[in-house]
């Protein structure tokens, strides 16, 4: 086990921050699983009912995806405000020079991401329902709907990018402080997750595993430094 060379911050704050980060990661995984299962159930419903009523099937799949997205967004907000923000506030206490910037980005990015995860599915469902309810829409109507959907997706992408950048920088600095390789891998995955969302799920798993290792390394370094102090 490669230990960090030195620690200058409040180790208790670091440990508390890592414990809260681990809890946040667990809740984020729950959000992803529930959202994925909801979307899968909606797609299954779509495939089984499309032949009988295509318009109804499309409406149902968008409604199911909207409900799953809303649930995921609510859970993301719970994890963010109860644990994730507090985790990086504690890490900021430990080392303001490293964790100050990611703490600020996370306070902006993750709430925005959670809110957009709730609003975007509702807006998409309403837009698609309007299109389906208009009978045989003309080209201009379809073009307007597509433009609306693209705008919604752009806002979601911006919010998600801010969230992933914040947590990516944060996990990279945890790696830099602790020499825990799992956090370096998680940081890389979070950055790529801006474009491939599934990788964030894997990154959160690495955070859960790496959190215990990071705390153990910091404790070991603290004990080594204590032994080196003049008696």
pLDDT, tens only, 191-203: 999 999 999 999 9
Pick the closest to residue 117 from 168, 79, 166, 152 (CA basis).
Answer: 152
The domain locations on the chain are: 11-217
Taking a C-beta distance cutoff of 8 angstroms, is the pair 147, 158 a contact?
no
DSSP state of 138: -
pLDDT of residue 31: 94
pLDDT of residue 11: 85
pLDDT of residue 61: 72
pLDDT of residue 137: 60
> H or E stretch including 229?
none
pLDDT of residue 1: 47
pLDDT of residue 138: 61
Read off the tokens for 226. 């204590």
**What number of residues does the chain have?**
231
Residues of the chain with pLDDT under 70: 1-9, 42-43, 45-60, 132-142, 145, 223, 225-231
């Amino acid at each position: 086990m490669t230990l960090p060379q030195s620690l200058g911050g409040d180790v208790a704050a670091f440990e508390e921050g890592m414990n809260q980060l681990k809890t946040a990661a667990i809740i984020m995984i729950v959000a992803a699983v529930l959202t994925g299962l909801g979307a899968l159930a909606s797609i299954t419903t779509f495939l089984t009912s499309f032949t009988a009523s295509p318009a109804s099937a499309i409406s149902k799949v968008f409604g199911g995806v909207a409900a799953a997205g809303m649930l995921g967004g609510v859970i993301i907000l719970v994890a963010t405000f109860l644990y994730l923000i507090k985790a990086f506030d504690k890490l900021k206490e430990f080392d303001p020079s490293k964790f100050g910037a990611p703490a600020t980005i996370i306070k902006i990015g993750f709430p925005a991401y959670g809110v957009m995860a709730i609003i975007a599915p509702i807006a998409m469902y309403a837009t698609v329902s309007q299109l389906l309810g208009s009978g045989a829409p003309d080209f201009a109507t379809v073009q307007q709907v597509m433009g609306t959907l693209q705008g919604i997706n752009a806002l979601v992408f911006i919010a998600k990018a801010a969230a992933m950048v914040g947590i990516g920088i944060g996990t990279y600095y945890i790696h830099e402080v602790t020499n825990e390789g799992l956090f370096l891998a998680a940081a890389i995955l979070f950055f790529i997750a801006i474009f491939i969302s599934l990788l964030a799920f894997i990154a959160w798993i690495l955070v859960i595993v790496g959190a215990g290792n990071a705390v153990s390394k910091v404790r070991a370094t603290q004990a080594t430094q204590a032994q080196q102090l003049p008696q």
